[in-house]
Amino acid sequence: DFVEALRAVVGAPNVSTATAVREQHGHDESMHPCAPPDVVVWPQAVGQVQELAALCHRCRVPMVPFGTGTGLEGGVNAVQGGVCFDLSRMDAIAELSLEDFSVTVEPGVTRKALNKHLRGTGLWFPVDPGADASLCGMAATGASGTNAVRYGTMRPNVLNLRVVLPDGRLLHTAGPGRQPRKRAAGYDLTSLFVGSEGTLGFLTQATLRLHPLPEATAVTIASFPSVGAAVACTVQVLQAAVPVARIEFLDEVMADACSRFSGMGLPVAATLLLELHGSQRSLAEQQQQTEEIVRQNGGSGLAWAEGQEEREQLWSMRHNAWYAALALRPGCQGYSTDVCVPISRLPEVVVETKQDLQASNITGPMVGHVGDGNFHCILIFNSQDPEEAQRIHAFTQRLGRRALAAGGTCTGEHGVGLGKRALLQEELGPEGLDTLRSIKAALDPHNLMNPGKVL
Amino acid sequence: DFVEALRAVVGAPNVSTATAVREQHGHDESMHPCAPPDVVVWPQAVGQVQELAALCHRCRVPMVPFGTGTGLEGGVNAVQGGVCFDLSRMDAIAELSLEDFSVTVEPGVTRKALNKHLRGTGLWFPVDPGADASLCGMAATGASGTNAVRYGTMRPNVLNLRVVLPDGRLLHTAGPGRQPRKRAAGYDLTSLFVGSEGTLGFLTQATLRLHPLPEATAVTIASFPSVGAAVACTVQVLQAAVPVARIEFLDEVMADACSRFSGMGLPVAATLLLELHGSQRSLAEQQQQTEEIVRQNGGSGLAWAEGQEEREQLWSMRHNAWYAALALRPGCQGYSTDVCVPISRLPEVVVETKQDLQASNITGPMVGHVGDGNFHCILIFNSQDPEEAQRIHAFTQRLGRRALAAGGTCTGEHGVGLGKRALLQEELGPEGLDTLRSIKAALDPHNLMNPGKVL
């Protein structure tokens, strides 16, 4: 039968129909209910992915790619069943070129594993969504995170992708073995597959752009009298062409939660966490410019952490924001919203959203990649309480629409997945959605790749 | 009849079938023979573009978008006749937002017109392909140029595009009125239309990212003992994380030609032209780092131009490279090749190409955006001599294949147009080209948009 045919391709130990395994692969870190696949397979090589895909294609069985399961929008939930392709055992790091600032990784390689591999080379891969996600998974979801304001999101940092198409054919989005830093050779297939959320094919290898490690790094944290002041400070830092590496916003609720969770003693105020990269000398100048702008906007409490341990302490406070938020209501679940708006509209959108949270009686501290206009409300709620779950849903819809009305997007970096399909329609309009659907139908005519997601 | 119907949409003065006008619109600055459209129309508003497109669509008439005609690969040649849409009279600059670093332009706005408009705002649009091209045309061809090493190509600098689809419907690639700095909301339609060379629709408006003007700028020129030394210097500058704004290579033939054309007295040697942007203080540090690296690689002749006039003199020498090359053989025609390779492969590719030029008895001085691995041979030849034209064609094919063999692309920034379709097949392989064709067929099923180009 079909499962036997899968076993014939990858060997019996690499196929599982056990309930526990299927359930483990049927959901990510989102609030969507688990939807287990019928089978989980662990291919060991790209040829096996091709054979498995061709088999599923012939039998018209849905296929769901799986990396680390750290997505936030239900991207791996097998809502129509089918075969989950767990690609974590394909984990080669190949073709590191220090002169070209490039490396090629398979789907089992996470961003931390890559940066560990790069130690001592003077290069690093800066995109950091928080979780230790698979780099191919980050490409699939168009991930970004704290460093994007300086180093960009995944899209400009992917040079080529090796894709297994739904029928098992192999596509190299920039051509086989190619990695020029720029190209104008036909439609940009690389950018099309980045952010396609597994709906167009399997990303089985990514060639990435690396960046030189900064000679020196400094981190500071400052408290502001208002959200508006913190955002004005951000705009002025960018206008002054300070090449800020990270500029993260925490609202007063989140600053307080993080402070208590990490035992830091921060003021209960709108807060910015800033990181600067550069040579020793340029860093001193960036610090001085930043300090001036912070003070002009009423910011205070500024102190620079330059040693690695001190810096890591500050960032671990930020990276623990999720847990600090969960600690506000023990036993409850969390869900992170993800709107992104033009920065000029950010203060009003943040202030209105805070009023909405209060009026809706929802606990939802905010963190944001404020240099990009992207912020998250970490909504803490009792998912067992249908009334509360409904209230949370209604709030996320209002927030999405508020961002759209401000010229923004319903998702800056988490993707559409299962939950934002309705908002995506409003965001793109009928012509936009028709265009997405035409592309999907052209590349996956039987709708076998991660069906039910995005569109 | 059909022409009457076009007149009914845009008014008789905005429709022309005069031979001189048609011939003027039937070719760009490439070496492809003129292929005039049957009619030229000048729509004045997006609604007219939609009506005209719908009309052509109903009658199955080919459509060719036209901006400034400064393309280099025959993108505007109406090889199947039809209607040329000259969009130069739609030239509004709207929605400049200094806080958001963004602006929206219509197709008649050129990059110089935009930067003039931005004077005094502290912002600028850095992408500079040389010609004073239309910004929508630059988006259509995926242009880049000298500043791309620091500020990127067109792709990361376009936030949204208003597209008239082949049937006249209006698509906003990031949704109507939206301009977040990043988004993860469905397939990246903006990146798909950037570089589509008019084959998927008309770009009737582009929302662009602006950048803060640097406080200070310095330019220098240095001579090197070999191509390898100049490239090694480039790699080391990038590895040292010097945020170089422009790093341009001239081979000894081009350096000599430019020197004579501009009366500069440069050594006949592999040459780098470097531009640095920053604050006064950071500039001093960048200059010092750059000088050290230049000297370590045997570079000499270094002197910094910091005043605007001096800097412009150096850049006008570089921007006149085309005319300096043409002056090597008066009365002849020029054609610019455009390969781009991983930078580690650049020295061997450049050296082999120089040997090939010599063995083929072709005059072809080189300039290159060496920080990106992109270089041009400006081939000077007598297009009236069929033997020579054939020799030139054979050379460009060998050069394209040499770049492909080195993991590069046949076109870094000029596009595929008419002349590189065969090389594109080799670059992408059958699965890649099939994928392009599927997308084209999905979005332009009757092949009416700029037929005969790219694929």
- Eight-class DSSP state of A50: H
List the one residue out of A292, A247, A296 whose CA is nearest residue A271.
A247
Strand order from edge to edge, sheet including B93-97 = B93-97, B102-105, B202-209, B158-164, B170-172
- Measured between CA atoms, how close is A330 to chain B, in angstroms? 31
Asked whether the beta carbons of A224 and A233 are under 8 A apart, the reply is: yes
pLDDT tens for each residue of B233-271:
998 999 888 999 999 999 999 999 999 999 888 899 999
**Cα gap A297→A227, rounded to integer Å:** 11
- Measured between CA atoms, how close is B42 to chain A, in angstroms? 25
For residue B443, list chain A residues with Cβ-Cβ distance below 8 A. 435, 438-439
Asked whether the beta carbons of A144 and B398 are under 8 A apart, the reply is: no
- Comparing alpha-carbon positions, the chain B residue that sits nearest to A436 is B187
- Measured between CA atoms, how close is B431 to chain A, in angstroms? 6
Helix axes A280-296 and B280-296, enclosed angle (nearest 10): 160
Q: Give CA separation, B18 vs A47, B5, B240, in Å.
A: 58, 17, 57
Do the chains contact at B176 and A281, CB–CB below 8 Å? no
Long-range interactions of B97-101: CB distance < 8 A, separation 24+: B97/A342, B97/A344, B98/A239, B98/B122, B98/B123, B99/A235, B99/A342, B99/A343, B99/A344, B100/A342, B100/A343, B100/A344, B100/B179, B101/A238, B101/A239, B101/B209, B101/B210, B101/B211, B101/B212
- Eight-class DSSP state of A68: S
pLDDT tens for each residue of B337-367:
999 999 999 999 999 999 999 999 999 999 9
H/E stretch holding A143 = none
Residue type, A2: F
List the one residue out of A244, A383, A377, A246 whose CA is nearest residue A321.
A377
Substitution target in B181, B285, B297 with the highest count of A β-carbons within 10 Å is B181
Strand order from edge to edge, sheet including B304-305 = B304-305, B216-224, B270-278, B244-250, B366-369, B374-381, B333-336
Output the pLDDT for position A131. Answer: 93
pLDDT tens for each residue of B161-215:
999 999 999 999 999 999 999 999 999 999 999 999 999 999 999 999 999 999 9
For residue B186, list chain A residues with Cβ-Cβ distance below 8 A. 195, 416, 424, 428, 432-433, 436, 454-455
**Cα gap B153→B125, rounded to integer Å:** 11
Structure tokens at A428: 């793109």
Substitution target in B247, B435, B444 with the highest count of A β-carbons within 10 Å is B435
- Comparing alpha-carbon positions, the chain B residue that sits nearest to A165 is B431
Substitution target in B101, B118, B187 with the highest count of A β-carbons within 10 Å is B187
Predicted confidence pLDDT, tens digits, chain A (455 residues): 999 999 999 999 999 999 999 999 999 988 899 999 999 999 999 999 999 999 999 999 999 999 999 999 999 999 999 999 999 999 999 999 999 999 999 999 999 999 999 999 999 999 999 999 999 999 999 999 999 999 999 999 999 999 999 999 999 999 999 999 999 999 999 999 999 999 999 999 999 999 999 999 999 999 999 999 999 999 899 988 899 999 999 999 999 999 999 988 889 999 999 999 998 888 999 999 999 999 999 999 778 988 889 999 899 999 899 999 999 999 999 999 999 999 999 999 999 999 999 999 999 999 999 999 999 999 999 989 999 999 999 999 999 999 999 999 999 999 999 999 999 999 999 999 999 999 999 999 999 999 999 99
Of B171, B194, B435, the CB nearest to A432: B171
- Measured between CA atoms, how close is B18 to chain A, in angstroms? 33
Output the pLDDT for position B248. Answer: 96
Structure tokens at B360: 């083929």
pLDDT at residue B302 greater than cutoff 90: no
pLDDT at residue B30 greater than cutoff 90: no
Do the chains contact at A372 and B181, CB–CB below 8 Å? yes
Give percent of chain B above pLDDT 70.
100
| Residue B386 neighbours by CB under 8 Å, 6+ apart | none
Output the pLDDT for position A218. Answer: 95
Kindly state the average pLDDT of the residues B70-94.
Answer: 97
Residue type, B53: A
Q: What does pLDDT average to over chain B?
A: 96
For residue A122, list chain B residues with Cβ-Cβ distance below 8 A. 239
Do the chains contact at A180 and B409, CB–CB below 8 Å? yes
Place of tokens 């290898």: A205
pLDDT tens for each residue of B321-338:
999 999 999 999 999 999
What is the interface pTM, i.e. ipTM, of the complex?
A: 0.96
Dmax (CA) for chain A in angstroms is 71
**Cα gap B292→B233, rounded to integer Å:** 10
Q: Give CA separation, A375 vs A269, A275, A339, in Å.
A: 17, 18, 6
Do the chains contact at B180 and A412, CB–CB below 8 Å? yes
For residue A170, list chain B residues with Cβ-Cβ distance below 8 A. 431
For residue A214, list chain B residues with Cβ-Cβ distance below 8 A. 241
Q: Which residues of B100-111 are buried (b: 16+ CB within 10 A; e: fewer)?
A: bbbbbbbbbbbb
- Eight-class DSSP state of A110: B
Do the chains contact at A97 and B410, CB–CB below 8 Å? no
Structure tokens at A141: 């979801």
Asked whether the beta carbons of A42 and A24 are under 8 A apart, the reply is: no
Provide the 3-class DSSP secondary structure of residue A280.
helix
Structure tokens at A307: 């040693």
For strand A366-369 and strand A244-250, is the pairing parallel, antiparallel, or unpaired? antiparallel
